[in-house]
A = this chain, B = another copy of it.
Amino acid sequence: MVSERSLAVLHAIIGDYVETNEPVGSKTIVERHSFGVSAATIRNDMALLEDEELIAAPHTSSGRVPTDKGYRLYVDTLASVRPLSSAQRIAIERFLGESRDLDDVLARTVRLLAQLTNQVAVVQYPSLRRTQVRHIDLVAVGENRVLCVLILGTGVVEQQVASLPAAQVTETWVHGLRERIAGTMVGLDLEAAGDAMRALSGTVDEWAQPDEAELVRRIADVILAQLQANRSERITIAGAANLSRPGEFSGTLPSVLEAIEEQVTLLRLFGELARDGRDVAASIGRENEPYGLQGAAVIATGYEREGETSSGIGVLGPVRMDYASNISAVRAVARYLSGVLGEG
């Protein structure tokens, strides 16, 4: 276990290194931070930290640089998350009150976060798995098409046309079917509605004419697809230009760009981080290896929508980043977003 002071030294090293991007030596530390001890003592502590693999020396007899493990301990022992500057608070305020629809709020939020942190910001769209089906409609369009309209609790409207094989459907028949389906589905969340829909589709022979069963199954499939589409998740990204800051992201820039393009990778990563624990989580360097993002660090948390935790929000940046500021920025923006979405 590392001593109290050694930990303070680690914090000092990381603080200086993040700021200057240069290996930091014992002398620099005693100059810039007022430890009450001499450089030699610091050196002893640093040797200790090096034994623990929390810091490393790029070359023999040069300053030290934090390792992934060092960063990890750092964020875990980060007590005082630096409060936001007043300029940052103002920036957040400016975005309040202008909220429009969900897309707009998320787009503004992700840009805000990118601007605050100077990193790539990522916001996951709310998971709608727990959203309810508010309304369902079937509309005959021509003789062999039925338009299936689904209105969800969030106000999202989903529609799709089911093409039927050469059968002529009547307005009244469609109406009857609609009543039956709506009766079983409306009010349920997407997951339960899907189950109900499958059950209905399975027992179709019991209540429908044989020659109509096929039609019902077709329509049921379309509705199932619609339910499924709304459970699928997306993310929105901003601040990609921050990736071009030179020096950072030494060799792993390609994989980061790929991850941004893929989306699915980031989705998994953010989902994971947002899920466990209520507070802001970080994943640093090698910890991201399963996602091909060693070289990068991710800070993420969940935000709430109408009272329940829905999805992830956070930033993606180089391992050498200002965790204190960025963690508090992510936390603040997540709270703000939860507030805005809580009202609606």
Contact = CB atoms under 8 A, between A and B. Distances in A.
A131 interface: no
Q: How many copies of the shown chain assemble into the complex?
A: 2
A141 B151 contact: yes
Contacts of A240: 240, 257-258, 260-261
A157 B157 contact: no
The 6 closest A-B pairs by CB, nearest first: A241-B257, A244-B253, A244-B254, A241-B258, A240-B257, A241-B254
Contacts of A5: none
Nearest to A257: B241
A139 interface: yes
10 contacts: A135-B141, A149-B159, A157-B160, A159-B159, A239-B261, A240-B257, A240-B260, A240-B261, A241-B258, A244-B257
- Interface of chain A: mostly helix, strand, loop or mixed: mixed
Interface string A123-166: 00000000000010101011000010101000101011100000
A238 interface: yes
Contacts of A139: 137, 139, 149
A160 B160 CA distance: 13
A147 B137 contact: yes
A145 to B, nearest CB: 9
A243 interface: yes
Contacts of A151: 141, 147, 161
A114 to B, nearest CB: 9
Interface in A231-256: 237-241, 243-244, 253-255
